[in-house]
């Protein structure tokens, strides 16, 4: 039991991180190559914007590089990395929401904002018939994008990244019961919103 508890101590990626901390650029390149797709995939699922994924991934790996000198393993490296990704994405969303609020105020004052009629007309130009699978995927993505931030990150880590409840708790810095609650609420919302597609 004790051995299982501390299995992160023999994690080869934690060893790589220590080598990064001692100045080995080759070790850092190894970590980037191994985790780049995982990091960019998680970012994209969370923010839903291809254009900013690469920039955010670079910012995250820069954080990893800077943290290497004082890195002390407390879990598997991948769990620690997911926490860095999650925190960065959550902070990004907060900034974007704040900026969007300011922009909407500016647009309202300047009269440059799109009216609801214009938005509705824009949506009308979408193809009338889409394959059911495409509709479901679009609805799923849309519904996930509207979940509260922590529910959204929890469901992405669980459904798309395959993390366990325990790993998600470490990533989000919360208890197992909090993870269960986040996932239960997220899944309840998804089932409700996607009910029309279940048939």
The predicted structure's pLDDT at residue 71 = 94
Domain locations in the chain as residue ranges: 1-111, 131-199
What are the tokens at 158? 């669980």
Pick the CATH number of 131-199 from 1.10.10.10, 3.40.50.300, 3.30.710.10, 3.40.50.1860: 1.10.10.10
Token pair listed for 2: 């004790």
Q: Which residues lie below 8 Å from residue 14, measured CB to CB, with a gap of 6+? A: 8, 73, 76, 77
Query: Could you read off the pLDDT of 142-197 as tens digits, one per residue?
Result: 899 999 999 999 999 999 999 999 999 999 999 999 999 999 999 999 999 888 87
pLDDT for 173 equals 93
Q: Which CATH code is given to the segment(s) 1-111?
A: 1.10.1740.10
| Residue with token string 């938005």 | 119
Q: Say which residue, 120 or 48, is predicted with more confidence.
A: 48
What is the tens place of the pLDDT at every residue in 105-147? 344 334 444 444 444 444 444 454 445 777 888 888 889 999 9
Q: Which residues contact 13 (CB under 8 A, 6 or more apart)?
A: 31, 34, 76, 77, 78
Query: Exposed, middle or buried: residue 113 (CB in 10 Å: 0-12, 13-18, 19+)?
Result: middle
Q: Which two tokens stand for residue 93?
A: 């969303």
pTM for the model stands at 0.74
């Amino acid at each position: 039991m004790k051995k299982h508890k501390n299995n992160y101590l023999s994690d080869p990626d934690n060893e790589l991180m220590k080598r990064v901390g001692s100045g080995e650029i080759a070790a850092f390149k190894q970590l980037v190559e191994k985790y780049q797709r995982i990091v960019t995939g998680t970012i994209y699922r969370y923010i839903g914007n291809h254009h900013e994924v690469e920039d955010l991934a670079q910012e995250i790996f820069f954080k990893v590089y800077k943290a290497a000198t004082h890195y002390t393993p407390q879990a598997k490296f991948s769990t620690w990395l997911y926490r860095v990704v999650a925190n960065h994405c959550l902070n990004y969303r907060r900034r974007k929401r704040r900026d969007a609020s300011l922009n909407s105020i500016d647009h309202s004052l300047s009269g440059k904002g799109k009216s609801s009629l214009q938005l509705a007309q824009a949506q009308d130009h979408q193809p009338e018939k889409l394959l059911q699978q495409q509709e479901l995927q679009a609805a799923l993505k849309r519904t996930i994008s509207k979940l509260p931030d922590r529910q959204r990150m929890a469901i992405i880590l669980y459904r798309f990244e395959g993390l366990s409840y325990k790993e998600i708790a470490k990533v989000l810095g919360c208890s197992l019961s909090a993870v269960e609650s986040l996932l239960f609420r997220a899944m309840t919302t998804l089932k409700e919103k996607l009910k029309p597609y279940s048939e």
